[in-house]
Amino acid sequence: MPLLCLGFTPIFMKTKSLWLSIFVLSALTASAKSKDYLLACWQKQAGPLNNKSLLLHYQEKKNELEHSFEPWQQTNYTGKGIVWSNAANFIKSDTLARGQRTYYSITQWNESTLLFLDYGDKDLFAVTKGMFEDQVFAGARYSPIALVDYFVKQKAGVEKESDKELVVYKLTINKTIVKLFIRKSDHLLHKVTTLGNDELFGDVLTTYVYKNYKAINNLSYPALVEIEKINGKVKDEVVIPAVSIVTELPALLNKPANYKFKDEVAPKPEIKVEKYSDNIHFIELKHTDDKVMVVEFNDFLLAAEAPLNSMNGELIINEAKKIAPNKPIKYFVFSHYHPHYTGGMRPFVHKGATVFSTKADVPYLQYLASAPHTLEPDSLQLHPKPLQIEEINESKTVTDGKFEMKIFFIGNKSQHTNDYLIYYFPSEQLLFEGDLVWIARQGEIKKAGTRQAGLYNAMKELGLNVKTIIQSWPVKDYGVKTVIPFADLEQSMK
Ligand SMILES: [Zn+2]
């Protein structure tokens, strides 16, 4: 390309000095290109395999954000497994352990197929084309061979952010921006970053740093991979104490005769609005299996719970507008920090609603509200607004002078999270809560579990006069009641 430019540019050149500067610039580009660090890396980390495979035994520390008691609390797993890796294949058989429990999974990927047996499953996972495409970088957690090869084949270009020490190459794979950072000094891959969208956290960066390089038959491989997930909030580690080079690949899973990718269909929003009383409205989001609440006061609205992502927050705001077109949503409140209650908060911040929160959750809400969403922008990303918070200690009464809603902090009495809030309407003898009651729709009422007993005890302590409990999640799934007579809860405590 620089040569072509040189051939054409003189026709349009007016001065010699400009012509000279273009020439110098082109020559510089050519010299930068003359060193192909990506190919040099491939020659060290993939090329020497020569159609054979690297067999590696690894141990890992894997930490996950699950439905814990407080934000950023991690569930820790230890794992071990075997990986067969080359340019066109990634096969993994592994176990993950936590306490007494052990989970088992198999991944089998090649250039046209991804077979995946998930932890705890008996049948193959229904893999989408996107998952298949993502596997080329997902496998880099253990071995970057296939990813380096993919970058060479795709002729990835050098990025401007390259510096004295590292040359950066970038590709967008499926919806994720993947970068390789190759060391100029020894041509080894220093790290890989992937930037993807998470519906709760927005732009999420994962980093794999490759360390303790060793060699086998001229093939360089990292014996330690340090991983940072969710913008560095969660850290994992993969240690590879032993490798060998093998000629055969195992077939751990059989490809079904009718193998094809599952269609990627985004869940179609389906909404049902129910007027419970003059002041209380419930909005059921069937596509997320949640029921959220809009409380109508004299000249404002309060919304409680917004599941999973900003799109759902917008849907709720839209329905609230239909309920009371001239009343602003003054307050947003969530029962606890789990994604089914906070995931759709950002559009409420964009609308200028004040968020009720326990003191302990404030930093988490600040994180959610300020997290960049550049890959899939929502209203708050496009038009940033400050997060307004009002802290709740023991309780809070929201009223317009006539109608009254009480919010109570029950915290870890919920036996579910440390931040738990419940909502009580004295005039309706109604309690609305997140996910604490698990009474089957059919059959006899079983003895209360810890969460359910926790709610009952907290209600008794507060001396609430309740006839009916309405629960936010789940609505259809798990076969449990969402409208629960208080008598049922009492029965479960006997
Ligand atoms: Zn929960």
One domain, residues 351 and 411: yes
Q: 3-class DSSP state for residue 315?
A: helix
Question: Using CA atoms, how far apart are residues 446 and 491, in angstroms rounded to an integer?
Answer: 8
One domain, residues 304 and 242: no
| Centroid of ligand 1 to alpha carbon of 72 (angstroms) | 14
| Centroid of ligand 1 to alpha carbon of 67 (angstroms) | 6
Closest CA to 192 of 38, 367, 371, 374: 38
Question: Using CA atoms, how far apart are residues 261 and 255, in angstroms rounded to an integer?
Answer: 12
> 488 lies in a domain?
yes
| Centroid of ligand 1 to alpha carbon of 482 (angstroms) | 15
- The whole-model pTM stands at 0.89
| Centroid of ligand 1 to alpha carbon of 126 (angstroms) | 27
One domain, residues 311 and 348: yes
> 22 lies in a domain?
no
Question: Residue written as tokens 């850290």?
Answer: 235
* Residue-level pLDDT at 267: 80
Which H helix or E strand runs over 129? Answer: helix 129-138
Orientation angle between helical segments 145-153 and 37-45, nearest 10 degrees: 140
* Residue-level pLDDT at 456: 98
| Centroid of ligand 1 to alpha carbon of 106 (angstroms) | 30
One domain, residues 304 and 422: yes
Write the CB contacts of 262 (distance below 8 Å, at least 6 apart in sequence).
126, 127, 128
* Residue-level pLDDT at 34: 58
Q: Which residues pair with 58 in a beta bridge?
A: 81
* Residue-level pLDDT at 58: 98
Largest separation between any pair of C-alpha atoms in the chain: 96
Which H helix or E strand runs over 106? Answer: strand 101-109
**pLDDT of 40-98, one tens digit each?**
999 999 999 998 999 999 999 999 999 999 999 999 999 999 999 999 999 999 999 99
> 257 lies in a domain?
no
Given 184, 211, 246, the domain boundary residue is 246
> 396 lies in a domain?
yes
* Residue-level pLDDT at 266: 82
User: Domain range for residue 115?
Assistant: 38-246
Q: Which residues of 142-171 are buried (b: 16+ CB within 10 A; e: fewer)?
A: bbbbbbbbbbbeeebebeeebeeebbbbbb
Which CATH number is 91's domain given?
A: 2.50.20.10
Structure-token pair, residue 420: 């738990």
Question: Residue written as tokens 């499953």?
Answer: 121
| Centroid of ligand 1 to alpha carbon of 36 (angstroms) | 51
| Centroid of ligand 1 to alpha carbon of 414 (angstroms) | 10
* Residue-level pLDDT at 7: 33
Structure-token pair, residue 416: 């579910």
Q: Which residues pair with 412 in a beta bridge?
A: none
* Residue-level pLDDT at 27: 44
One domain, residues 105 and 232: yes
Q: Which residues pair with 273 in a beta bridge?
A: 283
> 26 lies in a domain?
no
| Centroid of ligand 1 to alpha carbon of 288 (angstroms) | 14
One domain, residues 212 and 301: no
> 254 lies in a domain?
no
One domain, residues 242 and 209: yes
| Centroid of ligand 1 to alpha carbon of 338 (angstroms) | 5
* Residue-level pLDDT at 24: 46
Parts of the chain with a pLDDT under 70: 1-34
Which CATH number is 330's domain given?
A: 3.60.15.10
One domain, residues 291 and 333: yes
One domain, residues 276 and 233: no
> 75 lies in a domain?
yes
> 130 lies in a domain?
yes
Query: How many domains does the chain fold into?
Result: 2
**Which 8-state DSSP code applies to residue 466?**
-
Beta strands 404-409 and 421-425: pairing type? Answer: antiparallel
